[in-house]
Amino acid sequence: MSLIDFSKSEITFKIVYYGPAMSGKTTNLGWIYRAIPDKVKGQFTSIATETERTLFFDFLPVELGSVKGYKIRLSLYTVPGQELYKLTRKSVLKSVDGIVFVADSSGARRDDNINNLADMTRNLEEYEQPDTPVVYQLNKRDLPDVMPVDQLMDELDLAGKPVYLGIASSGVSVMDCLKGITREVVSKI
């Protein structure tokens, strides 16, 4: 749910990084946190387990700057990808404005990608938000066992959808994905 605050001339959008466990959602947020200047980013809040897996979510507020006299703010969240945290994923998705779906390009993660995407679609339908903008990042393109892009796109039914090839650990396509989803959510306002 975009939040338009006329008293502060601000518009806030909620963007969620969704995807299977270990696909690189937190890595995306971590890169954004390091890449943007201090004065425009808030506190990086992470609820992680002792092994640094996301337990609840990561949260990073970002202030992009002003357009048309309105400050554009983004609330960036990640969800925990593990099957166990189904309800947490659904809860973080509440009132989302846009999603970056981070798929793991490894051939071994094929089913995890498909199942997680189906889980996301189901949650959006239950929230009556099936038209929420989504951009897709096919991450970890530097792995030795990556699936060919065409095949991964077929498996996830991504033809005609905004797709980015990423290596989030070294920042490849991280900012492009953020820019892509920001454009999408702004167009929906």
Partner 1 sequence: MEGQLSSLVITKEDMETIDELFSQYLVDSQAKDIILLNKSGELLAKSGTVTRESALAVSALAAGVFSATNELAKLLGEHEFALTFHQGKETNIHISLVDPLTLLAVIFDNKAPIGAIRFWAKKISASILPVLQKMAAVPHQEPSEEFRKGLQDEIDNLF
Interface with partner 1 by CB under 8 A: which residues?
Answer: 1-8, 12, 14, 42-43, 45, 47, 56-57, 59, 61, 64-65, 67-68, 70, 72, 75, 77, 87-88, 91-92, 94-96, 126-129, 175, 178-179, 182-183, 186-187, 189
Least distance to partner 1, CB of residue 44, Å: 9
Q: What is each CA distance from 130 to 95, 122, 145, in whole angstroms? A: 12, 9, 33
What is the C-alpha separation between 88 and 152, in angstroms, rounded?
26
Least distance to partner 1, CB of residue 88, Å: 8
Q: Which helix or strand (DSSP H or E) is residue 112 part of? A: helix 110-126
What is the C-alpha separation between 145 and 127, in angstroms, rounded?
36
**Smaller CB separation from partner 1, 59 or 107:** 59
Whose tokens are 């393109």? That residue is: 141
Least distance to partner 1, CB of residue 151, Å: 31
**Smaller CB separation from partner 1, 28 or 113:** 28
**Smaller CB separation from partner 1, 152 or 178:** 178
- Burial code (b: 16+ CB inside 10 Å, e: under 16) for 79-96 equals bbbbeebeebbbebbeeb
**Smaller CB separation from partner 1, 26 or 105:** 26
Whose tokens are 């006299």? That residue is: 69
